[in-house]
């Protein structure tokens, strides 16, 4: 299964959205409000294999480029959830949640490393995300565990 | 980061209100040029007006010559025929937003971004050649044309708001003041130290003895040199003149006159210059969304998210996220981030988007306004005690900064009043912050004086002598350089200065309450002819009217009563005060007349509209939108 194929299921999209919001609230709380409208378009972009690239050369004096954390968080969440579903052989997040409840040991798969995030950060060239990679990894692990292991 | 957008339906048209960019520009110019001009009109130890004119015109000259220098420095050249369509698009959009002329497109071989520059008469948009070709191509693609157009309109709005010349002049003014004063401080101090070291030898020089030592000179040459060199009588006259010059005091004057400008110029450059940069972007962004009638192309240009995807999903205002309480480290990090943000020239994307979604966020909230007005007070307090201006400031210590704060705070009141917000508590908080900063500065000075008085009275005496010498003494207003009764001086200075702080607090509060009330009344003049073009001008007149009343009547009266009670019945003072009262009474009469004629009536049906104005208010009888020019119309 292609790692982004799971996004065609509405519940899975909702999960990406909820986890992204939770991560943003922890890592970049100022962005939560303004990023609300961008999550769905970014999910679509990620599903198409596209990614937002931050062009900081257009910073001072020009129009400027938005280095929004959401442009990194959404692709990372999609990648992590996609890999998790593939590893555990599921298609829907709700099924995955049930499986995690049944098989407690499966929780070890919920582990996002700095390297996982670096792959996406390198593609987006986001300086803001680069500075906060460790915080992103911590927040993402927490949000994933909370969402997937919740009742 | 600004506060999240309020849930208001109508969006404020920030272009109808006093521009925050202009306010910042005015603040920087007031601090740097205003103080030098004040020194020119009042008594000063040196002739200050050439300096004032120099600091006014030198930056202007550099500013006007800047485009040519930019052309040479960045190897810019006019765009060729291959970019004719882009130039045409610039012209079309410039006309659409009402620019009086079209900026010329120039291309650069370097990788500089799209940017604007120019003088009042010559406008340029510069861009890298490849980027220009890409932009032109995008403008022809219907899917992405609005996004490319958003970038173009953003640049054009820098001309529309006039920030390009404010930025250009401010940059040159800050540079000129900093460089000139730093040069003056270095040169004159160096010269002064040279004189201190060399003066004794020079003054003991005997030209006749010197020539006698040079034995191989012919009698003709010796005679010629003797004629050129000063005679013993002339040397004696120089010695007598030099004996009364106290070179350390002269050096003290030089440092006191120049260093505050170097430091203040640096502070303005470090903190206010980046704020001016950030503020201009908010206005250009607001211009884009107003010109295009929707925010999505702008958001797509900023975030790089394709326009069709942004259009596909409806705008969401808020999210239901439960944020956890912040720990101490988080709070420290947050404040550190805010401090770093003060130095950034480009606003962060989240703030830009917030301001587009709710334009009222562009206007300074009470904290920002208090910091702005408070720092203005501190800067003025420090600059006005420089030897160039202390004689004026000593005579009229409350005028300049009180009037400057009144104008700055009053202009900041218009926006919340237009939104129908209560401004009383914010106003009080701003004035408390301003007065507290001033009081802190004063208490620091008084505390230092008292400490010196108790533990080192000699140092205090020498410091005061140096201070008087560098101002009143050099200006010829004080012959004596002795402080007989130090404790009496310290007590009197402390009482007078503390009284001034309280008086200023009281005056500012009363004046601002009056201004706020008048502005609130003014905003109900729905039937005022050409209201969209003239109401803000009347608002400026109202603020100017109150400032005039304070400047001509109230402040001179209080200052004279406090500092020179015997001058209270001085005829010129009475005439000026009476003039201020007459102008104030006439202004008030006209305001009341106009208020009765134009206020609280619907311009469409003439029905009475009770209550104060707020953005989006409608006539209950005919549902006509009141002051529609204060509302920005665009889709999110």
Give dist(CA B298, CA B604) in Å, integer. Answer: 35
Does B353 reach chain A within 8 Å, measured CB to CB?
yes
Other beta carbons within 10 Å of B320: 5
pLDDT band at A84 (very low <50, low <70, confident <90, very high): confident
What pLDDT score was predicted for residue B481? Answer: 60
Of B277, B318, B349, the CB nearest to A33: B318
Scanning B141-246, the segments in alpha helix (DSSP H) are: 145-161, 163-203, 207-213, 219-228, 232-243
Chain A residues whose C-beta is within 8 A of a chain B C-beta are 21-22, 24-26, 28-38, 40-42, 44-45, 50, 52-55, 57-68, 71
A45–B310 CB contact, under 8 Å:
no
For the record, the structure tokens of B71 come out as 């052309």
What pLDDT score was predicted for residue A3? Answer: 61
Region for B433 from its dihedrals, namely left if φ exceeds 0, alpha if ψ lies in -120 to 50, beta otherwise: alpha
Bridge partners, B160 (sequence order): none
Contacts of A27 (CB under 8 A, 6+ apart): A69, A73, A132, A135, A136, A139
Residues of B in contact with A55 (CB under 8 A): 304
Of A32, A52, A59, the CB nearest to B319: A32
| Whether residue B380 has pLDDT greater than 90 | no
What pLDDT score was predicted for residue B6? Answer: 41
What pLDDT score was predicted for residue B586? Answer: 94
B113–A53 CB contact, under 8 Å:
no
Measured in angstroms, the CA of A92 and the nearest CA of chain B are apart by: 23
DSSP-derived 3-state class of residue B611: coil
What pLDDT score was predicted for residue A41? Answer: 93
The mean pLDDT value for B380-406 works out to 80
B5–A58 CB contact, under 8 Å:
no
Residues of B in contact with A54 (CB under 8 A): 304
Return the percentage of chain B with pLDDT > 90, whole number: 34
Measured in angstroms, the CA of A105 and the nearest CA of chain B are apart by: 28
Least confident of A44-48, B325-329, B361-365, B539-543: B325-329
Of A22, A41, A61, the CB nearest to B313: A41
Q: What is the ipTM of this complex?
A: 0.90
DSSP-derived 3-state class of residue B485: coil
Residue of B114, B307, B350 to mutate when probing chain A, most A C-beta within 10 A = B350
E strands, B278-350, in order: none
What pLDDT score was predicted for residue A99? Answer: 79
Place of tokens 């000075």: B445
Does B7 reach chain A within 8 Å, measured CB to CB?
no
| Whether residue B427 has pLDDT greater than 70 | yes
Residues of B in contact with A53 (CB under 8 A): 304
B349–A61 CB contact, under 8 Å:
no
Q: Which residue in chain A is spatially nearest to B314 when comparing CA positions?
A: A37
pLDDT band at B326 (very low <50, low <70, confident <90, very high): low
Give dist(CA B30, CA B177) in Å, integer. Answer: 13
| Whether residue B3 has pLDDT greater than 70 | no
What pLDDT score was predicted for residue B625? Answer: 92
What pLDDT score was predicted for residue B318? Answer: 53
Scanning B385-423, the segments in alpha helix (DSSP H) are: 390-395, 399-418
Which has the higher per-residue pLDDT, A129 or A108?
A129
Least confident of A82-86, A89-93, B158-162, B169-173: A89-93
B305–A63 CB contact, under 8 Å:
no
Query: Does residue B520 contact residue B512 with C-beta atoms inside 8 Å?
Result: no
- 3-state helix/strand/coil string of chain A: CCCCHHHHCHHHHHHHHHHHHHHHHHHCHHHHHHHHHHHHHHHHHHHCCCCCCCCHHHCCCCCCCCCCCHHHHHHHHHHHHHHHHHHCCCCCHHHHHHHHHHCHHHHHHCCCCHHHHHHHHHHHCCHHHHHCHHHHHHHHHHHHHHHHHCC
Q: Which residues 128-167 of B have a C-beta within 8 angstroms of A? A: 151, 154-155
Measured in angstroms, the CA of A30 and the nearest CA of chain B are apart by: 7
Residues of A in contact with B301 (CB under 8 A): 63
Give dist(CA B455, CA B482) in Å, integer. Answer: 19
E strands, B577-635, in order: 631-632
Measured in angstroms, the CA of B341 and the nearest CA of chain A are apart by: 13
pLDDT band at A90 (very low <50, low <70, confident <90, very high): confident
| Whether residue B570 has pLDDT greater than 90 | no
| Whether residue A1 has pLDDT greater than 60 | no
Taking CA atoms, B302 is separated from A8, A68, A121, B192, B350, in Å, by 27, 10, 18, 56, 10
DSSP-derived 3-state class of residue B338: helix
Residues of B in contact with A67 (CB under 8 A): 348-349
* Mean pLDDT for all residues in chain B: 85
Query: Does residue B114 contact residue B131 with C-beta atoms inside 8 Å?
Result: yes
Exposed e or buried b per residue across B414-441, where buried means at least 16 C-beta atoms within 10 angstroms of its C-beta: bbbbbbbbebeebbeebbebbbebbbee
Residues of A in contact with B167 (CB under 8 A): none
The count of CB pairs under 8 A between chains A and B is: 110
Of B302, B309, B346, the CB nearest to A41: B309
Report the Cα–Cα distance between both ends of chain B, in Å, rounded: 20
Selection from B80, B73, B67 nearest residue B132 by Cα: B80
For the record, the structure tokens of A29 come out as 């709380």
Q: Are strands B123-128 and B115-118 parallel, antiparallel or unpaired?
A: antiparallel
B315–A71 CB contact, under 8 Å:
no
For the record, the structure tokens of B322 come out as 């439960």
What pLDDT score was predicted for residue B386? Answer: 78
Give dist(CA B250, CA B244) in Å, integer. Answer: 12
Taking CA atoms, A3 is separated from A6, A20, A118, in Å, by 7, 17, 18
Query: Does residue B491 contact residue B277 with C-beta atoms inside 8 Å?
Result: no
Selection from B26, B70, B55 nearest residue B180 by Cα: B55
The mean pLDDT value for A39-66 works out to 76
Which has the higher per-residue pLDDT, B481 or A8?
A8
Give dist(CA B95, CA B83) in Å, integer. Answer: 19
Give dist(CA B70, CA B301) in Å, integer. Answer: 27
Measured in angstroms, the CA of A31 and the nearest CA of chain B are apart by: 6
* Angle, vertex CA B277, rays to CA B273 and CA B280, nearest 5: 135
What pLDDT score was predicted for residue B591? Answer: 95
Selection from B131, B124, B95, B94 nearest residue B110 by Cα: B131
Give dist(CA B526, CA B109) in Å, integer. Answer: 53
What pLDDT score was predicted for residue A57? Answer: 55
Residue of A30, A47, A64 to mutate when probing chain B, most B C-beta within 10 A = A64
Which has the higher per-residue pLDDT, A64 or B328?
B328
Least confident of B337-351, B469-483, B558-572: B469-483
Q: Which DSSP state fits B512?
A: H
A52–B305 CB contact, under 8 Å:
yes
Measured in angstroms, the CA of A97 and the nearest CA of chain B are apart by: 21
Other beta carbons within 10 Å of B205: 13
Of B281, B306, B319, the CB nearest to A21: B319
Residues of B in contact with A59 (CB under 8 A): 113, 346
Least confident of B261-270, B425-434, B505-514: B261-270
Which has the higher per-residue pLDDT, B38 or B406?
B406
For the record, the structure tokens of B391 come out as 């004689």
| Whether residue A64 has pLDDT greater than 70 | no
Q: Which residues 186-245 of B have a C-beta within 8 angstroms of A? A: none
Residues of A in contact with B277 (CB under 8 A): 60
Does B343 reach chain A within 8 Å, measured CB to CB?
no
What pLDDT score was predicted for residue B475? Answer: 55
A25–B353 CB contact, under 8 Å:
no
Of B114, B277, B317, the CB nearest to A63: B114
How many CA within 13 A on the CB side of residue B520? 16
Q: Are strands B104-108 and B11-12 parallel, antiparallel or unpaired?
A: unpaired
Query: Does residue B74 contact residue B133 with C-beta atoms inside 8 Å?
Result: no
Selection from B552, B557, B555, B547 nearest residue B518 by Cα: B547
pLDDT band at B472 (very low <50, low <70, confident <90, very high): low
Residue of A10, A30, A34, A70 to mutate when probing chain B, most B C-beta within 10 A = A34
Region for B398 from its dihedrals, namely left if φ exceeds 0, alpha if ψ lies in -120 to 50, beta otherwise: alpha
Give dist(CA A65, CA A42) in Å, integer. Answer: 16
DSSP-derived 3-state class of residue B105: strand
Give dist(CA B314, CA B565) in Å, integer. Answer: 69
Q: Which residue in chain B is spatially nearest to A128 when comparing CA positions?
A: B348
What pLDDT score was predicted for residue B283? Answer: 94
A64–B353 CB contact, under 8 Å:
no
For the record, the structure tokens of A53 come out as 């690239």
Least confident of A36-40, A134-138, B344-348, B616-620: B344-348
Region for B192 from its dihedrals, namely left if φ exceeds 0, alpha if ψ lies in -120 to 50, beta otherwise: alpha
Q: Which residue in chain B is spatially nearest to A41 when comparing CA positions?
A: B309
Taking CA atoms, B246 is separated from A18, B259, B484, in Å, by 76, 20, 20
What pLDDT score was predicted for residue A59? Answer: 45
What pLDDT score was predicted for residue B322? Answer: 46
B301–A63 CB contact, under 8 Å:
yes
What pLDDT score was predicted for residue B601? Answer: 92
Region for B332 from its dihedrals, namely left if φ exceeds 0, alpha if ψ lies in -120 to 50, beta otherwise: alpha
What pLDDT score was predicted for residue B325? Answer: 55
Domains of chain B with bracketed CATH: 67-161 (3.30.2010)
Scanning B456-485, the segments in alpha helix (DSSP H) are: 457-468
Residues of B in contact with A25 (CB under 8 A): 321-323
Q: What is the pLDDT of residues B359-373, one digit of tens each?
A: 988 888 888 888 888
Q: Which residues 455-514 of B have a C-beta within 8 angstroms of A? A: none
Q: What is the pLDDT of residues B68-92, one digit of tens each?
A: 998 998 889 998 889 999 999 999 9
pLDDT band at B1 (very low <50, low <70, confident <90, very high): very low
| Whether residue B191 has pLDDT greater than 80 | yes
| Whether residue B456 has pLDDT greater than 70 | yes
Give dist(CA B96, CA B88) in Å, integer. Answer: 12
What pLDDT score was predicted for residue B9? Answer: 60
Place of tokens 């209270």: B568
Measured in angstroms, the CA of A59 and the nearest CA of chain B are apart by: 7
| Whether residue B122 has pLDDT greater than 70 | yes
Q: Which residues 401-430 of B have a C-beta within 8 angstroms of A? A: none
The mean pLDDT value for A115-129 works out to 86
Measured in angstroms, the CA of A88 and the nearest CA of chain B are apart by: 29
Residues of B in contact with A38 (CB under 8 A): 303, 305, 310
The mean pLDDT value for A31-56 works out to 87
pLDDT band at B106 (very low <50, low <70, confident <90, very high): very high
pLDDT band at B319 (very low <50, low <70, confident <90, very high): very low
DSSP B201-225: HHHT--HHHHHHH-TT--HHHHHHH
For the record, the structure tokens of B160 come out as 């529309």
CA–centroid distance for B625 within its chain: 35
| Whether residue B316 has pLDDT greater than 70 | no
User: Could you give the dihedral angle defined by the CA atoms of residues B169, B175, B179 and B185, in that order, rounded to the nearest 10 degrees?
Assistant: 80
The mean pLDDT value for A128-147 works out to 88
- In terms of average pLDDT, the best of A47-61, B129-143, B205-219 is B129-143
CA–centroid distance for B138 within its chain: 39
Residue of B3, B285, B301, B304 to mutate when probing chain A, most A C-beta within 10 A = B304
Query: Does residue B5 contact residue B357 with C-beta atoms inside 8 Å?
Result: yes
């Amino acid at each position: 299964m292609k790692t982004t194929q799971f996004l065609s299921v509405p519940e899975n999209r909702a999960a990406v959205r909820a986890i992204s919001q939770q991560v943003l609230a922890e890592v970049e709380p100022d962005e939560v409000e303004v990023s609300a409208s961008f999550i769905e378009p970014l999910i679509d972009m990620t599903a198409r294999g596209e990614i937002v690239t931050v062009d900081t050369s257009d910073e001072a004096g020009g129009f400027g480029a938005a280095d929004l954390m959401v442009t990194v968080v959404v692709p990372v969440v999609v990648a992590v959830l996609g890999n998790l579903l593939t590893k555990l052989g599921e298609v829907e997040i709700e099924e995955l949640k049930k499986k995690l409840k049944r098989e407690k040991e499966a929780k070890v798969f919920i582990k996002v490393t700095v390297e996982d995030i670096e792959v996406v950060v390198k593609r987006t060239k986001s300086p803001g995300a680069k500075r906060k990679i460790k915080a992103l990894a911590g927040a993402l692990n927490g949000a994933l565990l909370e969402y997937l292991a919740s009742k | 980061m600004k506060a999240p957008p309020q849930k208001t339906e109508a969006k404020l048209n920030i272009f109808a209100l006093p521009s925050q960019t202009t306010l910042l520009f005015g603040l920087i110019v007031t601090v740097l040029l205003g103080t030098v001009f004040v020194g020119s009109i009042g008594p000063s130890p040196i002739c200050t007006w050439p300096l004032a004119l120099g600091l006014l015109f030198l930056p202007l000259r550099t500013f006007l010559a800047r485009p040519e220098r930019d052309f040479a420095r960045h190897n810019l050249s006019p765009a060729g025929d291959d970019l004719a369509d882009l130039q045409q698009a610039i012209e079309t959009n410039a006309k659409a937003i009402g620019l009086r002329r079209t900026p010329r497109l120039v291309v650069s071989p370097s990788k500089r971004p799209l940017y604007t520059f120019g003088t009042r008469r010559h406008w340029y948009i510069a861009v890298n050649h490849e980027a220009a070709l890409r932009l032109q191509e995008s403008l022809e693609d219907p899917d992405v044309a609005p996004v490319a157009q958003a970038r173009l309109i953003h640049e054009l709005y820098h001309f529309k708001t006039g920030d390009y010349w404010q930025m250009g002049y401010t940059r040159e003014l800050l540079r000129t003041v900093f460089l000139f004063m730093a040069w003056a401080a270095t040169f004159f101090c160096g010269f002064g130290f040279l004189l201190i070291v060399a003066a004794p030898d020079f003054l003991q020089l005997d030209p006749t003895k010197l020539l006698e030592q040079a034995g191989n000179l012919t009698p003709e040459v010796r005679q010629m040199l003797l004629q050129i060199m000063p005679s013993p009588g002339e040397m004696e006259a120089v010695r007598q003149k030099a004996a009364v010059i106290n070179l350390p005091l002269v050096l003290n004057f030089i440092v006191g006159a120049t260093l505050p400008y170097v430091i203040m110029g640096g502070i303005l450059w470090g903190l206010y210059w980046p704020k001016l940069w950030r503020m201009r972007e908010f206005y250009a962004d607001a211009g884009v969304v107003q010109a295009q009638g929707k925010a999505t192309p702008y958001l797509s240009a900023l975030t790089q998210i394709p326009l069709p995807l942004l259009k596909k999903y409806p705008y969401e205002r808020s999210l239901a996220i439960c944020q956890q309480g912040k720990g101490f480290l988080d709070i420290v990090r947050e404040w550190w981030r805010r401090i770093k943000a003060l130095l950034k020239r480009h606003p962060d994307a989240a703030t830009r988007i917030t301001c587009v979604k709710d334009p009222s966020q562009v206007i300074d909230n009470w904290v920002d306004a208090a910091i702005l007005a408070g720092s203005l007070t501190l800067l003025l307090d420090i600059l006005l005690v420089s030897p160039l201006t202390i004689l004026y400031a000593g005579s009229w210590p409350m005028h300049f900064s009180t009037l400057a704060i009144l104008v700055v705070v009053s202009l900041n009141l218009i926006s919340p009043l237009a939104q129908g917000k209560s401004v009383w508590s914010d106003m009080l908080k701003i004035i408390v912050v301003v007065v507290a900063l001033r009081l802190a500065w004063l208490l620091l000075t008084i505390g230092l004086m008292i400490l010196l008085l108790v533990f080192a009275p000699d140092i205090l005496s020498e410091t005061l002598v140096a201070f008087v010498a560098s101002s009143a003494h050099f200006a010829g207003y004080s012959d004596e350089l002795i402080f007989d009764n130090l404790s009496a001086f310290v007590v009197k200075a402390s009482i007078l200065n503390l009284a001034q702080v309280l008086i200023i607090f009281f005056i500012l509060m009363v004046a601002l309450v009056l201004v706020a009330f008048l502005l609130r009344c003014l905003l109900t003049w729905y039937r005022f002819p050409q209201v969209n073009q003239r109401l803000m001008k009347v608002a400026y007149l109202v603020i100017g009217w109150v400032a005039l009343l304070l400047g001509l009547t109230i402040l001179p009266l209080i200052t004279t009563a406090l500092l020179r009670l015997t001058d209270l019945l001085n005829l010129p003072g009475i005439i000026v005060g009476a003039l201020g009262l007459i102008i104030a009474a006439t202004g008030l009469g006209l305001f009341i007349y106009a208020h009765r004629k134009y206020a609280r009536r619907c311009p469409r049906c003439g029905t009475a509209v009770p209550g104060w104005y707020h953005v989006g208010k409608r006539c209950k009888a005919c549902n006509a939108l009141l002051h529609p020019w204060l509302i920005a119309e665009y889709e999110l």
